[in-house]
Amino acid sequence: MNMCRGLESLPITCLERAKELKARFGSFLLKQELNFMGLSNKADKLRVEEALKWGVSFQNLLAHNDGLRAFQAFLVSEYSEENIAFYLACEDYKNTKSASKLCAKATKIYEEFIGCDAPREVNLDHETRTTTKKNLEQPTVSCFELAQSKIYALMEKDCYPRFLKSTLYLDITRRLTP
């Protein structure tokens, strides 16, 4: 039995059951997640142009707070929220002004998302992991640039198109379309 944090701590049978339930009740669970976030009520108030911009580019989606929250909810439903969490952690890291905080934040990000047996490990190739680990020897604001760009590209090419076809996005745009 795997005893890591989060869903990984559940026995395999529980994970299989969770996936089965997600398949059966996926859109219902996603709508419940949106209600919990308060997004479904906000969606009625969003301007049509803003929500439709999310479908124009991945960058537009991430630049809009409600779009980002909707995308995060979608990734949670797909069990891949570690990607956006890593991306946002890197954005926060790049905005760190204090050199003393850079080292601590860099270590935390590496241990949580990149290191061996990281609890929220992101999908990176060996070369990117090695480069990132080497960058941590003397952390700078750009030490996660390569890894972050790989995860951004992965989300843009893989998760984002699925998001645009998801019941979540389609429900939001249907509500907003006159």
160 or 14, which is more confident: 160
- Kindly state whether residue 146 falls inside one of the protein's structural domains: yes
Residue 81 makes CB contacts below 8 A (sequence gap 6+) with 72, 75
pLDDT at 33 over 70: no
- Kindly state whether residue 35 falls inside one of the protein's structural domains: no
Quick: pLDDT tens for 131-175: 999 999 999 999 999 999 999 999 999 999 999 999 988 888 887
- Kindly state whether residue 149 falls inside one of the protein's structural domains: yes
Domain count across the chain: 1
- Kindly state whether residue 45 falls inside one of the protein's structural domains: no
- Kindly state whether residue 32 falls inside one of the protein's structural domains: no
**Average pLDDT over every residue of 87-110:** 94
**Average pLDDT over every residue of 61-71:** 93
User: Which CATH number do you get for residue 114?
Assistant: 1.10.167.10
- Kindly state whether residue 61 falls inside one of the protein's structural domains: no
Residue 7 makes CB contacts below 8 A (sequence gap 6+) with 15, 18, 79
- Kindly state whether residue 102 falls inside one of the protein's structural domains: yes
Range of the domain at 101: 81-156
Residue 124 makes CB contacts below 8 A (sequence gap 6+) with 114, 132, 147, 150, 151
- Kindly state whether residue 23 falls inside one of the protein's structural domains: no
When pLDDT is cut at 50, 70 and 90, the band that residue 77 belongs to is very high
Which pLDDT score is estimated for 4?
34
